[in-house]
């Protein structure tokens, strides 16, 4: 690198590479969630009994609400990092750090957990792995490591290498394995319904709400009616099968056309995961007893397959390989997720800038991939992850809660940000002459996340201890780091630097009082919802004096026409308002064009326009091009 004398040469900042398409984005979200069903299906049945599908449905409320929130926020603010970016923008740096810290451990544990699960499915083909243990002498101490832990360790190292090579390579692995998983699970559901489903068995089991017997590791609230409490405990476990939708947002800076891709991928992921989680859980009640399903915690899908008469045994190797494949990509998604969260936190100054370095050749954050991927590899080597579900739920639910709250806050505080897709079903409240827009799904998501998180605190003593400890350690690290760099704990400086992908633009549309038929089509085909229209008609008084009553009548008719145009535009997602003036068009348009109220002035005119034959609004083109040429936009009908 060269520098000119007297000037300082600054290194060029290398950005992440946009290599992920719509299916890659979908696979990112599905992979981190879809693998959970291979464990959660039996785990939830063991506690919820016949109400296992109900537990999945209740837990899915948080998944649907948060998935929709991520779809809106990630398109408006397409930064790597997800939850912590939105929390910083909505609140302050501390909220952003806390949201990021809560998901960091989830992703690291996800890497290790599913690397072990991947190896577990390999034991179907290589049973010796489950029976082999190696003993090493380290610093005079003998350490015993089983073969499953060693293979899981090696798997994570391979995934680290793939992620260093590039996001495209990592995404290709995800897409291949996810496609295989969808085909196999769909086949199991169809074959199970056709060949093994028993409606009478389903009817008997669906009436059993919660396993009737107590479990020693559950912190019961009361010493009777264990069935209902076991069911509530099962809801918290079902939640673990819906964690991972944020993976789509983590890769927002590496996604092609995030404004279109992310909402599409998020909605596809929500539908497919719900179909398999709830569908498989419901179908299983008509195939085998809930007790049998619960007894097969490590491989519930295989238990289902074996109940399919005639072909179950043949399908077992395919199911084992599919379990291996989807658990592998879930571990891979953990590496991608944690590396992007830490990269983003370093990039925004919530963690040391050292973590925000992007390799100039591979365009990947190699430092975060190696550091946190290695932590996941070591955890996989140890293999002691009984507390994973507790930590998974504790951190994810709090971060999901912050995402839903952030969406509602940003709807009120960053109204100028253009959202190419918005969470539907919003209610508008007029409080002290100010309009508040509250998306109902996000409000429901806040209630659901809070409720299930409280259930985790109540019923999971280990999750309560480890989760609060992890949060406390994070807060201590944050306080010490902020003191070292000399910044206040609750600064909003970083949040204010987060800009939306694009902003709303105010456009004044000049419309003749007598023409409205083609206006809507012209505007819809020429502009998108980034533009906020003010539809203006002017009742001219330049050429003749209008009686007051006639001017008022013309104004009423013009207002009616504008309202009709406005209604059609609003149905297509545009923000509009209407205004009709009586007076000199030249004076009114001049004042509007030079004001700061409008970014553009749009003139809609016919194709038959010829120079020298301008009259009425066609004269406005020359006028605006003279007084505010940068604002003029001409649209042909």
438 beta partners: 427
Reported in sequence order, the residue ranges of 10-139 that DSSP labels E, i.e. its strands, are: 133-138
pLDDT for 254 equals 64
Grouping H, G, I as helix, E, B as strand and the rest as coil, residue 203 is: helix
Grouping H, G, I as helix, E, B as strand and the rest as coil, residue 294 is: helix
Greatest mean pLDDT among 28-32, 102-106, 152-156, 313-317 lies in 152-156
| Structure tokens that stand for 634 in this block | 């001409």
Q: What's the gap between Cα 510 and its chain centre?
A: 40
Strand 505-510, strand 600-605: pairing: parallel
Greatest mean pLDDT among 251-265, 322-336, 531-545, 603-617 lies in 322-336
Backbone angles phi, psi at 227, to 5 degrees: -60, -50
| Mean local confidence (pLDDT), 128-147 | 73
Tokens 């998604």 sit at which residue? 333
As to burial, measured by CB atoms within 10 angstroms (0-12 exposed, 13-18 middle, 19+ buried), residue 309 is exposed
pLDDT for 515 equals 60
| Distance from C-alpha of 476 to C-alpha of 449, rounded to nearest angstrom | 25
DSSP assigned state of 14? P
Grouping H, G, I as helix, E, B as strand and the rest as coil, residue 570 is: helix
Residues 385, 116: contact at Cβ < 8 Å? yes
pLDDT in tens, 602-629: 887 765 444 444 445 557 788 888 888 8
Q: What class has domain 27-497?
A: mainly alpha
Higher pLDDT, 401 or 359: 401
pLDDT for 335 equals 87
**Count of H helices and E strands in the chain?**
23, 9
| Mean local confidence (pLDDT), 29-38 | 70
| Distance from C-alpha of 346 to C-alpha of 544, rounded to nearest angstrom | 67
pLDDT for 170 equals 63
pLDDT for 132 equals 77
| Mean local confidence (pLDDT), 482-486 | 91
pLDDT for 462 equals 78
Residues of the chain with CATH 1.20.1740.10: 27-497
| Mean local confidence (pLDDT), 478-488 | 91
pLDDT for 5 equals 40
Residues 582, 553: contact at Cβ < 8 Å? no
CA 413, 419, 421, 424 torsion-angle sign? positive
Residues of the chain with CATH 3.40.50.620: 505-636
Residues 329, 78: contact at Cβ < 8 Å? no
Helix (H) or strand (E) holding 301: helix 300-306
pLDDT category of residue 196 using cuts at 50, 70 and 90: confident
Q: Is the pLDDT of residue 487 over 80?
A: yes
Nearest to 460 by CA among 225, 215, 223: 215
| Mean local confidence (pLDDT), 573-601 | 86
pLDDT in tens, 558-567: 888 888 888 8
Which residues, 6 or more positions from 399, have their beta carbon under 8 angstroms from its beta carbon? Answer: 83, 99, 102, 103, 106, 246
| Structure tokens that stand for 83 in this block | 């939850």
Q: Is the pLDDT of residue 450 over 90?
A: yes
As to burial, measured by CB atoms within 10 angstroms (0-12 exposed, 13-18 middle, 19+ buried), residue 608 is exposed
| Distance from C-alpha of 409 to C-alpha of 89, rounded to nearest angstrom | 9
DSSP assigned state of 359? -
| Distance from C-alpha of 392 to C-alpha of 467, rounded to nearest angstrom | 9
Which residues, 6 or more positions from 203, have their beta carbon under 8 angstroms from its beta carbon? Answer: none
pLDDT for 178 equals 80
CATH T-level topology, domain 505-636 = Rossmann fold (3.40.50)
Q: Return the minimum-mean-pLDDT range out of 55-59, 85-89, 316-320, 416-420.
A: 416-420
pLDDT category of residue 549 using cuts at 50, 70 and 90: low
- For residue 444, how many other CB atoms are within 10 A of its CB? 16
Compute the radius of gyration of the chain from its Cα atoms.
30
DSSP structure string for 465-534? HHHHHHHHHHHHHHHHHHHHHT--TT--HHHHH---SSB-EEEEEE--TT--TTHHHHHHHH--TTEEEE
Residues 93, 491: contact at Cβ < 8 Å? yes
Which residues, 6 or more positions from 589, have their beta carbon under 8 angstroms from its beta carbon? Answer: 510, 538, 601, 620, 623, 624
Q: What is the mean pLDDT of the chain?
A: 81
| Structure tokens that stand for 419 in this block | 């959202």
Backbone angles phi, psi at 339, to 5 degrees: -65, -35
576 beta partners: 533
| Distance from C-alpha of 134 to C-alpha of 315, rounded to nearest angstrom | 33
| Distance from C-alpha of 474 to C-alpha of 294, rounded to nearest angstrom | 36
pTM (2 d.p.): 0.76
pLDDT for 386 equals 47
| Distance from C-alpha of 308 to C-alpha of 595, rounded to nearest angstrom | 73
Q: Return the minimum-mean-pLDDT range out of 258-262, 405-409, 563-567.
A: 258-262
Could you give the percent of the chain with pLDDT greater than 70? 84
DSSP assigned state of 363? -
Q: Is the pLDDT of residue 1 over 50?
A: no
Task: Give the N- to C-terminal CA distance of the chain in Å, as an integer.
Answer: 54
| Structure tokens that stand for 389 in this block | 């579900």
């Amino acid at each position: 690198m060269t520098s000119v004398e007297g000037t300082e040469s600054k290194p060029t900042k290398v950005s992440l590479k946009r290599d992920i398409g719509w299916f890659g984005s979908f696979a990112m979200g599905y992979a981190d969630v879809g693998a959970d069903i291979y464990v959660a299906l039996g785990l939830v049945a063991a506690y919820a009994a016949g109400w296992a599908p109900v537990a999945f449905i209740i837990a899915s409320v948080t998944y649907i609400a948060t998935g929709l929130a991520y779809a809106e926020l990630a398109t408006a603010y397409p930064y790597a990092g997800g939850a912590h970016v939105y929390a910083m923008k909505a609140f302050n740096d501390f909220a952003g750090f806390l949201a990021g810290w809560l998901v960091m451990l989830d992703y690291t544990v996800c890497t290790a957990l599913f690397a072990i699960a991947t190896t577990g499915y390999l034991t179907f083909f290589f049973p010796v792995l489950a029976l082999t243990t190696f003993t090493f002498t380290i610093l005079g101490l003998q350490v015993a490591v089983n073969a499953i832990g060693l293979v899981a360790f090696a798997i994570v190292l391979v995934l680290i290498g793939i992620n260093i090579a590039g996001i495209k390579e990592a995404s290709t692995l995800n897409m291949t394995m996810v496609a295989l998983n969808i085909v196999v699970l769909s086949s199991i559901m169809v074959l199970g319904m056709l060949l093994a489903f028993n409606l009478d068995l389903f009817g008997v089991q669906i009436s059993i709400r919660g396993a009737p017997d107590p479990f020693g590791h559950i912190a019961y609230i009361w010493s009777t009616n264990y069935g209902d409490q076991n069911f509530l405990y099962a809801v918290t476990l079902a939640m673990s099968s819906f964690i991972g939708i944020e993976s789509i947002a983590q890769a927002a800076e590496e996604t092609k056309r995030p404004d279109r891709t992310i909402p599409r991928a998020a909605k596809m992921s929500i539908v497919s995961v719900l179909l398999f989680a709830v569908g498989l859980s419901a179908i299983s009640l008509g195939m085998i007893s809930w007790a049998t399903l619960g007894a097969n915690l490590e491989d519930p899908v295989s238990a289902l397959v074996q109940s399919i008469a005639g072909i179950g045994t043949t399908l077992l190797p395919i199911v084992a390989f599919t379990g291996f494949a989807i658990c592998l990509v879930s571990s891979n998604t953990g590496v991608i997720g944690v590396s992007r969260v830490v990269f983003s936190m370093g990039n925004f100054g919530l963690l040391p800038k050292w973590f925000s370095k992007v390799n100039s050749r591979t365009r990947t954050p190699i430092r975060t991939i190696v550091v946190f991927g290695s932590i996941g590899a070591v955890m996989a080597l140890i293999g002691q992850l009984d507390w994973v579900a507790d930590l998974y739920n504790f951190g994810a639910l709090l971060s999901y809660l912050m995402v839903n709250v952030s969406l509602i806050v940003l709807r009120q505080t960053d109204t100028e940000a253009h959202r190419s897709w918005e969470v539907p079903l919003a209610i508008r409240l007029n409080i002290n002459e100010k309009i508040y827009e509250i998306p109902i799904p996000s409000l429901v998501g806040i209630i659901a996340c809070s409720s299930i998180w409280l259930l985790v605190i109540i019923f999971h003593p280990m999750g309560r201890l480890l989760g609060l400890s992890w949060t406390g350690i994070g807060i201590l690290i944050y306080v010490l780091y902020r003191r070292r760099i000399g910044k206040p704990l609750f600064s909003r400086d970083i949040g204010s630097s987060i800009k939306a992908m694009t902003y709303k633009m105010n456009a004044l549309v000049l419309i003749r009082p007598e023409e409205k038929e083609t206006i809507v089509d012209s505007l819809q085909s020429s502009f998108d919802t980034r533009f906020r229209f003010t539809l203006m008609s002017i009742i001219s008084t330049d050429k003749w004096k209008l009686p007051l009553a006639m001017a008022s009548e013309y104004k009423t008719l013009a207002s009616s026409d504008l309202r009709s145009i406005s209604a059609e535009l609003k149905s297509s997602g545009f923000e509009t308002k209407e205004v009709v003036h009586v007076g000199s068009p030249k004076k009114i348009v001049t004042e509007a064009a030079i004001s700061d109220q409008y970014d553009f002035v749009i003139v809609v005119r016919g194709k038959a326009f010829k120079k020298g034959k301008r009259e009425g609004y066609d004269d406005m083109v020359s006028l605006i091009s003279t007084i505010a040429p940068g604002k003029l936009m001409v649209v042909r009908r």
